[in-house]
Amino acid sequence: MAIVVVLVGSWLGYQQLADNDCSGQIRLNVAAATEIAPAVDRAAQQWSSNGAEVNGTCVAVTVTGVNPAAMASTIALKHGVTLTGLGAASKSGTIPDVWIADSTTWLMRLRSEASGFVPTDGKSIATSPVVVAMPEPVAQSVGWPDRKLGWGDLLKRMTTGNSLRTGIVNPTRDAAGLAGLLALGSSAGGGPQAKAQQVAALRALAAGSSSLRDDLMQKFPRSTDAADLASAVSAAPLSEEDVVAYNAEKPVVPLAALYLNPQPPSLDYPFAVMPEVDLTKSAAATGLREALQQPGFKDELAKVGLRAPDGTVGVGFASPIGAPKATPAATGAPTGTEGTAAAGLDAGSINQALGSWAAITLPGRALAVFDVSGSMKTKVPTAGNLSRAEVTRRAASQGLALFDDQWAVGTWIFSTEMDGKKPYKQIVPITPLTSGRSQLQASIGSIVPKDGGDTGLYDTALAAYKSVQDTWQAGRVNSVLLFTDGVNENKDGISRQTLINELKKTADPKRPVRMVIIGIGTGVDRNELEAITNATNAGGVFIAPDPAKISDIFLEAISSRSGAR
């Protein structure tokens, strides 16, 4: 009987190969976001059974459901970088031939840290709008489904009164959470009052954040009891698919999906072929992606609560109340190797949002070192002719307000001969913000240019690095944040080579210190600054050619965990 079974199976296999007119096998490994993996797998197996081949060689596809954060962490590890909030990946993790993350923002974050990460293709194969999920009784209390709300309305409700208990999946680990964070940030506008409102909203989100999407979903109310509704999460940015999947379980309190204006970046499921893939597998990947663009795949997507890339839906899609028939097309042009979520976004705006989040949620220690050389008197036309020093003071004040009480911060200033022959001077030692916030806020007033002062960059950078390392604390990000608008001009100081040698000698992998240098204006020398940060193996250089943009660059610097920009 066993022999007969083997012979029959072999014959059927031979017949299938003969019918398909291909031989051999190309194994294509696909890692897909867990919610889309079943649809991709069904379409891939159908494609294979219909004779998938490359130059006469059969193609076999294996589809594995993988959390995008876990895969991003694995890819980052292979490129020798890390992403904010992800931590270290398992060294045993493997990179697939094709990665279908839930959002292009993952590709953008990886590329901003690892210049060698250049995937190809990147066409969107599905989409899911990012919505604000609310328990239906709560949504009805704010006018749903008749009233159309905006992100500005949500921001106001979050920062006035206690009518909403907001939640979010950690935006460093979740693309829908990141999209919601970006939408809230853009709705705040500019100016000190708007910044304060934005900080208040971020703190409210952070208080109700979850590391995992499943954890957040458990925080929605399980009954219509008034106490349960009042204590549970009442608003959270999630994907439309999340709401569809939640309601499919027939909960006592269903979720409403609020499609707020302006529309945040949708989850766009880019089909990314990894850089290491050879030409044969790349051709097989192209064939699979074309199979996923066939009309029948839309119905497979509908089964898992997702839309086609153009926003239309297939048969059986469980459309939430008030859902658009098709999601509006994204504005702006994608970058070529990325999906539709790239439109209107860049790595800078993403890193600024994540920098704000990191300052509020991640414990850290930072020594902020400010240039007060004479050139800091230079006027900035784009900032109402304020001086560079005045613009820097504003940025420092806003940054300090953003930092959570989990942080400890110190301030130095530097030029030449600030403390005897020393080019630097301590204003406030690294102090916990729980006790020293007012003192540190007052210290910002010391950022005043010194008449005739030059830039004692090298000695200051070395002293600041050693100071942070001497007081290093485990479990925190230990950083030097150095702001300068010029090149080293200290005839009595150490040379560049001496600085680099000393930094290399001092750097300790067991006590890492991030050396982050923020260049102000066009008078800095990027090569000089990168030589300094490269010697420490941690940190990077961030240049603000327009000093009026220092605040944005500062947030990017806080977000970055490796590499120079």
Q: Residue type for 398, please?
A: Q
Lowest mean per-residue pLDDT among 41-50, 66-75, 426-435, 555-564: 555-564
Q: Return the pLDDT at 335.
A: 41
Could you tell me if residue 334 is inside a domain? no
Nearest to residue 276, comparing CAs of 118, 394, 159, 126?
Answer: 118
| HSE-up (13 A, CA, CB side) for residue 403 | 29
* One domain, residues 155 and 280: no
Encoded tokens for 6: 């083997």
The CATH number that applies at residue 398 is 3.40.50.410
Nearest to residue 268, comparing CAs of 424, 107, 428, 75?
Answer: 107
Residues near 415 by beta carbon (within 8 Å), at least 6 away in sequence = 371, 372, 373, 374, 423, 449, 450, 453, 454, 455, 456
d(CA 542, CA 471): 25
Q: Residue type for 322, please?
A: G
Say whether pLDDT at 343 is over 90: no
Q: Residue type for 259, please?
A: Y
Domain end among 279, 298, 316: 316
Q: Residue type for 346, please?
A: D
What average pLDDT does range 518-529 have in this prediction?
A: 95
Cβ-contact 408, 432 below 8 angstroms: yes
Could you tell me if residue 343 is inside a domain? no
* One domain, residues 139 and 122: no
* One domain, residues 542 and 410: yes
Buried-exposed string 290-320: b where 16+ CB fall within 10 A, e elsewhere: ebbbeeebbebbbebbbbbbebebbeebeeb
Could you tell me if residue 341 is inside a domain? no
Measuring CA to CA, how many Å separate 273 from each of 37, 98, 291, 293, 466?
16, 5, 15, 16, 43
The CATH number that applies at residue 224 is 3.40.190
**Where do we find the tokens 């999460």?**
233
* One domain, residues 272 and 300: yes
Could you tell me if residue 348 is inside a domain? no
As a whole-number percent, the residues of the chain with pLDDT over 70 amount to 89
Buried-exposed string 403-442: b where 16+ CB fall within 10 A, e elsewhere: bbebbbbbbbbbbbbbeeebbbbbbbebbebeebbeebee
Measuring CA to CA, how many Å separate 396 from each of 102, 383, 392, 402?
35, 15, 6, 10
Total residues belonging to the chain: 565
Q: 257-277, pLDDT tens digit by residue? A: 999 988 899 999 999 999 989
Q: Return the pLDDT at 345.
A: 75
Could you tell me if residue 339 is inside a domain? no
Q: Write the DSSP symbol of residue 267.
A: B
* One domain, residues 31 and 107: yes
What average pLDDT does range 309-320 have in this prediction?
A: 93
Q: Return the pLDDT at 115.
A: 81
Q: Which domain holds residue 173?
A: 130-258
Say whether pLDDT at 42 is over 70: yes
- Per DSSP (E only), the strands in 139-217 are 168-169, 209-210
* One domain, residues 490 and 405: yes
d(CA 560, CA 540): 8
Q: Return the pLDDT at 506.
A: 94
* One domain, residues 57 and 179: no
What average pLDDT does range 230-242 have in this prediction?
A: 94
Encoded tokens for 62: 């294996």
Q: In the chain, what is the straight-line distance between the N-terminal and C-terminal CA atoms, in Å?
A: 67
As a whole-number percent, the residues of the chain with pLDDT over 90 amount to 63
Q: 466-487, pLDDT tens digit by residue? A: 999 999 998 888 999 999 999 9
d(CA 136, CA 253): 7
d(CA 30, CA 27): 10
Say whether pLDDT at 8 is over 60: no
Buried-exposed string 49-63: b where 16+ CB fall within 10 A, e elsewhere: eeebbbeeebbebeb
Cβ-contact 532, 500 below 8 angstroms: yes
Domain end among 258, 288, 307: 258
Model confidence at 430, in pLDDT bands (50, 70, 90)? very high
Encoded tokens for 350: 């993403």
Q: 178-233, pLDDT tens digit by residue? A: 999 988 877 766 655 666 777 778 888 888 889 899 999 999 999 999 889 888 99
Encoded tokens for 227: 């106490």
The CATH number that applies at residue 33 is 3.40.190.10
Q: Write the DSSP symbol of residue 377.
A: G
* One domain, residues 418 and 440: yes
Q: Return the pLDDT at 191.
A: 59
Could you tell me if residue 548 is inside a domain? yes
Q: Which helix (H) or strand (E) holds 77?
A: helix 68-78
Lowest mean per-residue pLDDT among 21-25, 112-116, 117-121, 458-462: 21-25
Residues near 225 by beta carbon (within 8 Å), at least 6 away in sequence = none
Q: Return the pLDDT at 331.
A: 39
Encoded tokens for 564: 């120079």
236: left (phi over 0), alpha (psi -120 to 50) or beta: beta
Provide DSSP, 296-350: HHHHHHHHTT-B-TTS---TT--PPTT--SSPPPPSS---SSS-GGGTT--HHHH
Say whether pLDDT at 398 is over 90: no
What average pLDDT does range 107-115 have in this prediction?
A: 89
* One domain, residues 369 and 471: yes
3-state secondary structure 443-499: HHHHCCCCCCCCCCHHHHHHHHHHHHHHCCCCCCEEEEEEEECCCCCCCCCCCHHHH
Output the pTM of the full model. 0.77
Cβ-contact 244, 255 below 8 angstroms: no
Say whether pLDDT at 377 is over 80: yes
Residues near 440 by beta carbon (within 8 Å), at least 6 away in sequence = 400, 409, 410, 411, 428, 431, 433
d(CA 177, CA 182): 9
Domain end among 208, 229, 258: 258
Lowest mean per-residue pLDDT among 40-54, 342-356, 446-460, 518-532: 342-356
CA angle 205–69–207, rounded 5-degree value: 15
174: left (phi over 0), alpha (psi -120 to 50) or beta: beta
* One domain, residues 416 and 460: yes
* One domain, residues 168 and 29: no
Say whether pLDDT at 457 is over 80: yes
Q: Residue type for 178, please?
A: L
Cβ-contact 564, 541 below 8 angstroms: yes
Could you tell me if residue 492 is inside a domain? yes
Could you tell me if residue 465 is inside a domain? yes
* One domain, residues 175 and 243: yes
* 43, β-bridge pairs: none
Model confidence at 404, in pLDDT bands (50, 70, 90)? confident
Model confidence at 337, in pLDDT bands (50, 70, 90)? very low
Count of structural domains within the chain: 3
Model confidence at 351, in pLDDT bands (50, 70, 90)? confident
